[in-house]
Every structure is written in structure tokens, then in C-alpha cells.
Structure 1
Amino acid sequence: MDGDLLRVLSRILHNFYYMTKNPLIRTIYLYLFALVGLVLMVIGAVNFINMGLKAWVFTQADQEQTLWDAPPKPYGIEEKIPTDADVEKIELTETEKQAIKNWVMDYDAWNERTKNIDVAKSRRHREAARNLSFLIVGMPLYLYHWGVIKKETKKDKENA
């Protein structure tokens, strides 16, 4: 059974590669995937250039990102406290006091977790990984399909 499957797959690949019945479909496929590979490479390269410009020329371009990482919001208190209330005279319930203690602990934990994280640098690393993946996928896709196109064009010119 495995031999039959391999034979069928081999025949399908052979027919696809040499596609003599519908050369137009094969030509469209080759040019389309060469174009897709080229587009992926262009996107990756443009994004890398963008990252380089932000890192070395326009160094303030990523500054607002440091503001995005906000600390945990304070937990709600059941009663609204007027803004003009005397802070010394406000009395909290045990539940509210515990909620404030929990929030302070969460805030301290957030501070500890984020004190060594550079948000802009982290984002640049994420972008670099994505851009590199565009190049890694796009380059072989383009080179293979364009190589097949060039080889077939050369062969057609020799036969003509």
C-alpha cells in the first residue's frame, strides 16, 4: 500500500512539474508564487529599514511606547468618596482596607516584573523576528520559482 501511495504522489508531482496539459496554469502559478516571494522579501526589508531608522536616526520615534505599560488599576471601593473630603476623617471597612492592601501588593509585584523591561526594545525584537520570518519565507519562494521561470525561458529560446 505504501508503494502505491508513493507511486501516486510521484506521478502527481511529476505531472505538476512538467505540466504539459495546461502550461498556462503552470506559468501563472510560477509567476504568482515568484511575486508572492518578492512581496514578502520587500515587506521584510522595508520593515527592517524602518526599524533601523527608528533605532539610529529618529531615536525619539518609539518614546511614547514607554507610557503604554500601565500599572494595575486600583480596586473599586463600594462607596464613592467625595474629592473634597477630609482624608483624615475617611473611615474604610475591613474589606476596603484589604482591597487597598491587595492593590498595593499587586502594584509592587507589577513594579518588580516591569522594572527591567524596556518596552520599546521588546517591541523591536518582536518586529525583527517577524521581519526576518518574511525574508526567510520569501527568499526561497522567490528564488526557486524565479529560477524555474528563467530555466524554462532559456530552454524555450534554445528550442525556438
Structure 2
Amino acid sequence: MTWIKKAYLYVVSLVSLIIIMVGAITLLNMGLKILLNAEEYYSYPMMAVNCQVPVEKGVAVKTTECDPDYQIKQQEYEKKNQQQQRKRDIAQSLAMIIVGTPVFYYHWKLARKEA
């Protein structure tokens, strides 16, 4: 076997092993955060909303900031966004593991067989 083929097989094996490890570590991290009920994403505190309604040409204009439930809606939106981000992170980690494992196994098997 030529040295280029050996180098290719070992490099691909190493890269795929690193991808598997990153996916597994990320998945473990997410699992521990869920298990320990830890805050995953932090956000800045909400600013106080000035609910004075601006008047344009004698007509009061309602803005979203003057909605009394604005802060509650914003907190619900942030919570939903955090849950969706957690799901995306878990899916990405699983994809890294699922794709990286057969690539590693195949190339490592060829490298060991040819060595």
C-alpha cells in the first residue's frame, strides 16, 4: 500500500473520530443540563417599558411596547426559543455520531487491514 493511501485512511479515521467525540460530548453536555435542570441560555434582563402612548396629530398610537402583556409574551417567546435550540443541538449531535461512526469504522478497518 502506498504511503498516500495509508495517510488518507488514517487522516479520515482521525477526523471522523474527532467528529464522533465532539457529537458525544455535546450530547452528554445537553443530557446533563437537562438532567440537572440547568439554565442553558442566559439572556439580558428585560428593560423597563415606558408605556406612555405617543400621540400623532391628536390620535393615540398603540405600540407593542405599551402592551401590558409584552414582557410575559417576550419571556414565553424566549423560553420556546430555548427549547427549540436545545432540540436543534441534540439533533446535530446525533447526526455527528450517526454519520461519523460508519465513516470511522470503514476507514479504520481498511487501514488496519492494509497495515
Using structure 2 for the length normalisation, give the TM-score.
0.71
CA distance in structure 2 between the partners assigned to 1:145 and 1:92 by the alignment: 67
Structure 2 runs not aligned, ≥5 long: none
Count of residues paired in the alignment: 108
Larger relative contact order (Cα-Cα within 8 Å, sequence gap ≥ 6): 2
What amino acid sits opposite 2:113 in the alignment? K
1:147/1:60 Cα in 2 relative to 1: closer, same or farther (>3 Å)?
Answer: same
Query: Match for residue 60 of structure 1?
Result: 38
Query: Match for residue 60 of structure 2?
Result: 97
Mapping for residues 1-160 of structure 1, pairs under 5 Å: 23-56=2-35, 58-62=36-40, 65=42, 67=43, 92-94=54-56, 97-98=60-61, 101-103=62-64, 104=66, 111=73, 114=76, 118-153=80-115
The two structures, once aligned, show a CA RMSD in angstroms of 3.5
Q: CA deviation at 1:138?
A: 1.1
Q: Deviations over 1:83-136 (max 9, x none)?
A: xxxx8xxx95326832xx13247x76x939x46953432221011011112112
Overall identity of the aligned pairs, in %: 27
Higher share in helix: 1
SS of match in other structure, 1:130: helix
| Structure number with larger C-alpha Rg | 1
Using structure 1 for the length normalisation, give the TM-score.
0.53
SS of match in other structure, 2:88: helix
